[in-house]
Structures are given as structure tokens and as C-alpha cells.
Amino acid sequence: MKTSPVSTGRRRLLTLGLGAALATCAGPALAVRGERRLAFVNLHTGESLRAAYWQDGYYVADEITAINHLLRDHRSGEAGMMEPRLLDLLFRLQQGLGLERPYEVISAYRSPQTNALLSQASTGVAKKSLHMEGRAIDVHLPGDALQHLLRAARQLRGGGVGYYPRSDFIHLDTGPFRTWRG
């Protein structure tokens, strides 16, 4: 089907307008220009990473690959694709709290085999966990910072927020907003 130059121009104008509106709604933490950086320490492997995963409106493939590797299933060694929205959620939390220190990672991507093993051993592991989709992460911050992170995550309403005080971590995911205590 051919489109006229007028309808093509109108479509482009509407698309640009929608993009500008979304960028405005996203707020300063998700501005179009600039850089988004995250830092992690994987508590199971001892590996650490500082990555500028987003620059001037684009996700940086090499940095995302490095993050995926660090956040891999430490039991199987399998790396999954972490959802960029989860990284953006972590970035927004970091910006809101003015955090300088890295997130200490308890669990991020989980292979289906690892998740099945964990869900059989514990009632606290969902059989259809978002960890298997790269949409969830369990993190720890030493000291009082964990309480601040918990409050800020709940205020953002960016997805699920679970608090596990006995294990000293919080769970964040990009599913619907909900909170729980494990």
C-alpha cells in the first residue's frame, strides 16, 4: 500500500511528538542525552563491574553483554539477557538516593534448571520467577543503605519489591507493582 507524502509526514510528526512527550514524562533520570552507569559486585563470584550501559539515547551493546555476564546464573554459568528496564530501574534508584557504591548482587538471572532446584528447596522461590526472564534481581547494600533502597524502590513503583530482612537483601523486578516481606 502506498502512502501519500502528506500522511507520511503527519505520521512522522505524530511519532516525533509522542517520543518527545514520553521523554518529558520519563523525567531527568531517563533523559535522552547523557550516560547511565551502574556498578555491581557479584557476591558469589567476587567479580565486579562498572558499566556505562546507556549513552546519548542508546543502550551500549558491549556494556550490556558485560552486565549479562556478571549477572549470570552462578550455579550453571549460563548468562541470560537482563531486561534493560530493570537496569533503568536500578539506575533510577541509584540517582534518587545519590548512591556511589555498587549494588551487591545475591541473584539475578537464573536458568530454569536452577530456579526449579531452588523452588523445590524453598517456599520463597517462585516456580515462574522473573529471574528466569532477566527481569529480577536480588541486591544487598551494607548498613542502613538497604532500608533507604527499600523505601525508594517502593516509592518508585517500578515493579515488584520484596524485602528479606533475615537474608539482608531486597528483590526488585519489572513485573506489576507489588510489595511483600519474605
Mean per-residue pLDDT, 15-37: 51
Mean per-residue pLDDT, 40-56: 97
Report the CATH architecture of 33-181: 2-Layer Sandwich (3.30)
Question: pLDDT by residue (tens digit) across 98-123?
Answer: 887 899 999 999 999 998 888 887 76
Q: pLDDT at position 27, please?
A: 40
Q: pLDDT at position 19, please?
A: 36
String of DSSP letters for the chain: ----HHHHHHHHHHHHHHHHHHHHHH-GGG-SSSEEEEEEEETTT--EEEEEEEETTEE-HHHHHHHHHHTS-TTT-------HHHHHHHHHHHHHHT--SPEEEEE----HHHHHHHHHH-TTS-TT-GGGGT-EEEEE-TTTHHHHHHHHHHHHT-SEEEEETTTTEEEEESSS-EEEE-
Q: Where are the domains of the chain?
A: 1-32, 33-181
Question: pLDDT by residue (tens digit) across 64-83?
Answer: 999 999 999 999 999 999 99
Q: pLDDT at position 5, please?
A: 44
